[in-house]
């Protein structure tokens, strides 16, 4: 009996009648089994990763603001963790689609919290993501988004001492850079690869909503006027284009740590201004 057969027998008392392999990213094996999406990875290497993803998906889905796949089950078996989800399509990328995504994201961002952070730490890619509660966005951004990844990269020889000084100088300017807004419920990893008819693969937390918007500009996949569409539903403070590179230090640092020095130039082009 295969692991997929064991999982479906355990969770649904159901035989596997149809199974195919999907693209799984860096660490996951992903399958379409009996018309459900199944993600599997090593439970010891990434403790509770898929359980945390399941909880994040459930919170996003409960906002009823944008299409999020239903979570059918999650668990562990034979040292593997698994997550079973509703299959959703890619969506026809016409104007109506982009307006639906923009308005849905704006509505999702209306879900708020007293502080910035989350009820537990989770993951961004395969890296741990710290979500300790902070009353101010700048504190959260520095302590939970910048410093863990800056230190990791420095310890691995991917950043230099001068880079650390540049980050420290930037930190002193952040209060004057970021607009003062309440925490918003974020997808947290909103690049084009996680965009379908709705949204998949979140790294959920309460943060500044412009973090989500900035990440839409990282790797393509979103319409060129997506931020303008969003602004029609939830107006933004002027000057977001100048703030986007600062927000995107986070995904760039994430990729620097995961994939290496090709992301260093983009980081240095931002921090050398300070």
Active site residue ranges: 189
Closest by Cα among 2, 66, 1 to 40: 2
Measure the CA angle with vertex 44, ends 143 and 159; round to 5°. 35
CA angle at residue 214 from 208 to 218, to 5 degrees? Answer: 145
β-bridge pairing 36-42 and 29-33? antiparallel
Bridge partners (DSSP) listed for residue 259: none
Q: What is the CA radius of gyration of the chain?
A: 19
Q: How far apart are CA 17 and CA 19, in angstroms?
A: 7
Q: Round to the nearest angstrom and report the end-to-end CA distance of the chain.
A: 59
């Amino acid at each position: 009996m295969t692991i997929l057969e064991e999982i479906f027998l355990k969770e649904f008392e159901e035989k596997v009648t149809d199974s195919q392999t999907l693209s799984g990213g860096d660490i996951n094996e992903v399958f379409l089994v009996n018309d459900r999406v199944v993600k599997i990875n090593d439970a010891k290497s990434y403790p509770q990763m898929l359980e945390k993803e399941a909880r994040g998906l459930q919170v996003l889905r409960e906002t009823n603001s944008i299409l999020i796949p239903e979570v059918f089950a999650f668990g562990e078996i034979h040292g593997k963790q698994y997550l079973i989800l509703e299959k959703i399509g890619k969506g026809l990328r016409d104007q109506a689609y982009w307006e639906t995504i923009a308005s849905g994201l704006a509505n999702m961002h209306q879900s708020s919290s007293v502080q910035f952070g989350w009820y537990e730490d989770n993951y961004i890619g395969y890296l741990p993501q710290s979500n300790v509660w902070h009353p101010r966005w700048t504190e959260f951004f520095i302590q939970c988004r910048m410093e863990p990844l800056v230190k990791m990269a420095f310890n691995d020889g991917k950043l230099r001492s001068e880079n650390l000084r540049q980050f420290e100088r930037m930190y002193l300017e952040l209060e004057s850079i970021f607009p003062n807004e309440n925490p918003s419920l974020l997808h947290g990893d909103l690049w084009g690869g996680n965009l379908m008819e709705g949204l998949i693969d979140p790294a959920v937390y309460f943060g500044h909503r412009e973090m989500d918007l900035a990440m839409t500009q990282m790797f393509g996949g979103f319409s060129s006027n997506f931020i303008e569409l969003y602004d029609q539903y939830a107006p933004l403070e002027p000057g977001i284009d100048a703030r986007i590179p600062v927000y995107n230090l986070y995904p760039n640092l994430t990729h620097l740590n995961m994939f290496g020095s090709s992301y260093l130039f983009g980081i240095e082009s931002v921090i050398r201004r300070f």
